[in-house]
DNA sequence: ATAGGGTTAG
């Protein structure tokens, strides 16, 4: 009777499960593990891990699969620390893990992100002889990728005896997730060469990779191949393609696809809205949201992020406030404003010059403001040259954002602009002490099925000579149009050394010159940059678009710049 | 009985 009750309770909410559990206890029967097992599984299913743990602790000598059930629950509910603690307890009690245990624990460790623990765990896996198991090995490979240990991950992946489709997909997916999309492409090509038949999972990751790389042509090619090979192109695949188009700056293609899609979900709509916002098409973004509401679809927190960033971009403060209030009043757990939304609001207010209001907004917010929020205000202070507030915020941020290089650079630039060189020194020393990493700037252009990368002053490209000649020629011509190299700007997150050294050989300038030489005249020149573009390159691109009548689409770390006839769609520079 | 892969934001 009781076991039937429990079996039937699997879909019940946690509080009802607890009542049933209480009932079981009051019957006075000796509670058998089989009953508790059912109970535990139900609790893990509904995600009440606290209660699940209680039930587990009541059990007498639980068998290994019960431990595993609990591990599964912890991992599924994103409680990596509980997972690891449980693993430790298990070892202390002398219970041996089996091959089902390790995938959970490895996943937890990679989420926590402590490399030495990862190594130790790998050693345990090897000691128990589980390393040759595909599933465990796959998790380990993903763990190393997440730790940034590319060579360990590659080595382990290569040494797997059996690499099935899931192993390939997992590896490619984690490459994309960790920002190594060029590597994902490399392995995709190898997968094809090895004649491993890919599936829709592969396609989704690869479309995402192409979005990251700005490789419109390669992305289209992969999608077309998927259609030809009769791979199931479900909503997720279509969404990924949509995102790829938008990340390549091709809002037109995206819209055509979006309108054609038979099945659309919140992600499709949000992708479009966010994409329009990124591309500076705020009107379309807001219009799409109106359509979405008409269709009766519920937005989620990502949708609102897109909306707020669209408002910020268009400088429509009241619209932004309207959407923010909509979130607050919606009473929908999915739409509660998170820190990112507050950061968006600060950005919106700050960008529009309402710095005081932005500051008050932060002071009044119910969540603890983080570096991202202060950073948004600091960026706005920099744009509006408000040194008083800027310094105040910089002072605050100096303490709370010790490890994010971009903020430190912004702070030191603010101090520099205010002439407070002792403060500049202090920040720089701190950066050096903390070893704040300076990410090297690079730009890339897709051409001929390949991605061409350029560093500043790069001479490694085979067409290098032609590129520099083209650059010289262009610089000469646009000087006549009124271009003056801007060496004085201090307000973006680039290092001083970078500013001082050959401004005219910035990676995006080389990439644009490369595009001018190679890209077909009717196509826009698409340039991707890993960091933010500097003022001078921005002005440069405007002039080039005017001089050559070519459209330049440049994506930097934050947003798109569509240059057409000497004008850019963005409001970040003027 | 229990284990590995995919889309939007940062």
Per-residue pLDDT tens for A10-66? 555 556 666 666 666 665 555 566 778 888 888 998 888 999 999 999 888 899 999
Identify, with chain letter, the residue nearest to nucleotide B2 (CA–C1'). A65
Residue A34 neighbours by CB under 8 Å, 6+ apart:
A3
Which CA distances in Å does A173 have to A160, A188, A201, A468? Answer: 17, 10, 8, 37
pLDDT of residue A339: 94
CA–C1' nearest nucleotide, residue A134: B4
Region A247-276: what's the mean pLDDT?
Answer: 96
* Strand B, nucleotides covered by protein (CB < 7 Å): 1-10
Tally Cβ neighbours within 10 Å of residue A419: 9
Euclidean distance between CA atoms A24 and A42, whole angstroms? 15
Q: Residue A266 CA to B7 C1' — how many Å?
A: 11
Q: Residue A76 CA to B1 C1' — how many Å?
A: 18
Q: Residue A226 CA to B1 C1' — how many Å?
A: 37
Which CA distances in Å does A539 have to A150, A484, A542, A544? Answer: 37, 9, 5, 9
Q: Answer whether residue A508 shows pLDDT above 90.
A: yes
Q: Answer whether residue A1 shows pLDDT above 90.
A: no
Euclidean distance between CA atoms A421 and A465, whole angstroms? 41
pLDDT of residue A216: 95
How many CA atoms lie less than 13 Å away from A462 in the CB half-sphere? 2
Which among A308, A257, A263, A214 is positioned nearest to A525, based on CA atoms? A214
Better pLDDT: A175 or A27: A175
Three-class DSSP category at A552: strand
Which among A559, A391, A444 is positioned nearest to A185, based on CA atoms? A444
Residues A378 and A351: beta-carbon distance below 8 Å: no
CA–C1' nearest nucleotide, residue A170: B5
Positive or negative, the Cα torsion across A164, A168, A171, A177? negative
Identify, with chain letter, the residue nearest to nucleotide B10 (CA–C1'). A340
Q: Answer whether residue A185 shows pLDDT above 50.
A: yes
Q: Residue A54 CA to B4 C1' — how many Å?
A: 29
**DSSP one-letter code for A100:** T
Identify, with chain letter, the residue nearest to nucleotide B1 (CA–C1'). A65
CA–C1' nearest nucleotide, residue A33: B1
Q: How confident is the model at residue A491 (pLDDT cuts 50, 70, 90)?
A: very low
- Average pLDDT score, chain A: 88
CA–C1' nearest nucleotide, residue A273: B8
Tens digits of per-residue pLDDT, A290-334? 999 999 999 999 999 999 999 998 889 999 999 999 999 988 888
Better pLDDT: A13 or A492: A13
pLDDT of residue A3: 55
CA–C1' nearest nucleotide, residue A340: B10
Q: Answer whether residue A179 shows pLDDT above 80.
A: yes
pLDDT of residue A515: 97
pLDDT of residue A493: 44
Region A98-122: what's the mean pLDDT?
Answer: 95
Tally Cβ neighbours within 10 Å of residue A302: 17
Q: Residue A147 CA to B7 C1' — how many Å?
A: 23
pLDDT of residue A264: 96
Q: Residue A107 CA to B4 C1' — how many Å?
A: 10
CA–C1' nearest nucleotide, residue A301: B9
Residues A533 and A484: beta-carbon distance below 8 Å: no
Euclidean distance between CA atoms A34 and A40, whole angstroms? 10
Q: Answer whether residue A108 shows pLDDT above 80.
A: yes
Q: Residue A207 CA to B7 C1' — how many Å?
A: 10
Tens digits of per-residue pLDDT, A558-569? 889 999 999 998
Region A340-361: what's the mean pLDDT?
Answer: 94
Region A88-105: what's the mean pLDDT?
Answer: 95
Q: Residue A373 CA to B10 C1' — how many Å?
A: 12
pLDDT of residue A500: 47
pLDDT of residue A490: 42
Which CA distances in Å does A353 have to A276, A358, A393, A411, A477? Answer: 23, 9, 15, 19, 36
Euclidean distance between CA atoms A108 and A119, whole angstroms? 13
Q: Residue A94 CA to B7 C1' — how many Å?
A: 43
Q: Answer whether residue A384 shows pLDDT above 90.
A: no
């Amino acid at each position: 009777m009781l076991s039937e009750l429990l079996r039937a309770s699997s879909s019940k909410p946690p509080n009802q499960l607890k009542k049933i559990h209480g009932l079981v206890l009051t019957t006075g029967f000796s509670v058998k593990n089989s009953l508790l097992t059912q109970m535990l599984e139900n609790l893990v299913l509904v995600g009440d891990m606290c209660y699940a743990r209680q039930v587990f602790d009541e059990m007498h000598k639980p068998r290994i699969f019960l431990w595993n059930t609990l591990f599964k629950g912890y991992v599924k509910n994103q409680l990596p620390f509980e997972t690891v603690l449980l693993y430790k307890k298990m070892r202390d009690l002398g219970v041996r893990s089996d091959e089902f245990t390790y995938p959970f624990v490895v996943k937890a460790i990679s989420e926590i992100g402590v490399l030495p623990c990862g190594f130790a765990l790998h050693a345990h896996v090897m000691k128990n002889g589980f390393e040759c198991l595909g599933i465990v090995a796959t998790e380990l490979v993903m763990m190393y990728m997440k730790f940034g240990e590319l060579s360990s991950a590659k080595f382990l992946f290569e040494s797997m005896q059996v690499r099935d489709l899931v192993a390939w997909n997992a590896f490619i997916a984690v490459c994309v997730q960790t920002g190594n999309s060029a590597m994902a492409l490399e392995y995709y090509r190898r997968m094809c060469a090895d004649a491993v038949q890919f599936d829709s999972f592969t396609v989704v990751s690869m479309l995402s990779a192409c979005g990251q790389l700005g490789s419109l042509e390669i992305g289209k090619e992969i999608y077309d191949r998927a259609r030809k090979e009769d791979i199931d192109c479900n909503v997720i695949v279509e969404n990924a393609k949509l995102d790829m188009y938008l990340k390549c700056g091709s809002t037109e293609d995206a819209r055509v696809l979006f309108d054609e899609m038979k099945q659309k979900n919140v992600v499709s709509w949000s992708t479009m809205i966010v994409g329009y916002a990124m591309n500076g098409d705020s009107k379309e973004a807001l219009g799409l949201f109106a359509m979405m509401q008409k269709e009766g679809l519920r937005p989620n927190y990502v949708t609102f992020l897109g909306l707020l960033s669209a408002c910020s971009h268009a400088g429509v403060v009241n619209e932004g406030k309207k959407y923010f209030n909509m979130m607050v009043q919606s009473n929908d757990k999915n739409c509660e404003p998170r820190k990112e939304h507050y950061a968006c609001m600060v950005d919106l207010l700050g960008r529009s010059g309402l710095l005081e209001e932005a500051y008050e907004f932060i002071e009044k917010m119910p969540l603890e403001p983080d570096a991202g929020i202060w950073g948004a205000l600091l960026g706005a202070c920099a744009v509006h040259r408000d040194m008083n507030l800027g310094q105040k915020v910089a002072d605050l941020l100096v303490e709370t954002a010790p490890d994010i290089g971009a903020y430190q650079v912004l702070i030191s630039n603010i101090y520099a602009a205010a002439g407070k060189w002792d403060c500049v020194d202090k920040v720089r020393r701190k950066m050096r002490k903390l070893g704040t990493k300076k990410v090297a700037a690079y730009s890339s252009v897709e051409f001929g099925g390949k991605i061409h990368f350029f560093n500043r002053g790069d001479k490694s490209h085979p067409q290098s000579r032609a590129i520099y000649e083209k650059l010289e020629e262009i610089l000469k011509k646009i000087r006549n149009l009124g271009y003056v190299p801007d060496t004085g700007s201090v307000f973006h997150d680039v290092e001083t050394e970078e500013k001082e050294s050959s401004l005219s050989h910035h990676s995006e300038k080389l990439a644009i010159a490369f595009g001018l030489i190679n890209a077909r005249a009717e196509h826009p020149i698409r340039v991707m940059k890993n960091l933010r573009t500097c003022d001078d390159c921005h002005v440069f691109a405007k002039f080039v678009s005017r001089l050559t009548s070519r459209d330049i689409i440049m994506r930097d770390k934050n947003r798109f710049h569509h240059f057409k006839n000497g004008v850019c769609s963005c409001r970040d520079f003027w």
